[in-house]
Amino acid sequence: MTQTIDLSGKIALVTGSSRGLGRHYALHLARAGADVIIHDINRSAAAEFGEAVSGEAVADEIRALGRRSAFLTADLTDAAQVEAFFAAAVDAFGAVDIVVNNAGGDIGARTPRPDPNDAIDIHVDDIKAVLERNLLSVMYMGKFAGAHMRERQTGKIINVGSGAGHVPTSVGIIYASAKAGISHYTLCLSEELRPHGVNVNCIAPAATYTGRFLATRTVTGQEGLSRLQKIAEPDDMAKIVMFLAGSGSDYLTGETIICR
């Protein structure tokens, strides 16, 4: 029997959702009945890789599905901005039931990706930029969203790591290490929030077609590969996020689903 995911009456917040995988997560949540708060670092970020006109345009897509939405901006590497952003979301919608900590990326301080992108020759400011964007931002959101959900004694936090954090690599070492850290943080935060009925889980996506992915990487031929060998489509990852957001995962916490 197929179980339909019904998120009617739920309020979801997806970071980095004006583009890329975040936008797909947001649209799937809305189609399941959730009102969705769209976020990005600024209003122009959505257009960087041609994936959407603007963050507000993505919020309009959500509203067209009959759901409430709003577009809010914040730099998630700044704890004060995260606190104000989350408070604004709660003020606007009354509560937040689901948080998808999606924002991140192997992005340098000055370049689309750190260059060099190893452990030794990488620039120090790139180390800082990658860790702040991928690990500290998740911890800041976990602090403020976790406190809100602890008070309400309910909620779901879905952290987004990466399959890169679970295999050895010689490229993107800082990024991979930050994503591996998210998995352990997920495990620890889940134990802190377990007595309060709050689920904390993580998805570690495989390489997936997005605008940024195509702009920063060269894709080799996919002919002759099985669907489990090919680069993933956004819907492949969104379906897993939906499982973690829905009632089917109500007794699952502290886990990382690794896609590889």
Instruction: Please give the Cα distance from 118 to 123 (Å, whole number).
Output: 9
| Catalytic residue (one of 25, 140, 175, 185) | 175
User: In whole angstroms, how far apart are CA 40 and each of 14, 21, 188, 224, 246?
Assistant: 9, 12, 27, 37, 24
Instruction: Please give the Cα distance from 46 to 55 (Å, whole number).
Output: 6
- Return the closest-CA partner of residue 189 out of 137, 143, 133, 240: 143
Q: Which two tokens stand for residue 219?
A: 């894709």
Q: What is the DSSP letter of 3?
A: P
Residue 209 annotated in active site: no
- Return the closest-CA partner of residue 166 out of 67, 45, 256: 256
Instruction: Output b/e per residue, 207-217; b: 16+ Cβ within 10 A.
Output: bbebbbbeeee
Catalytic residue positions? 175
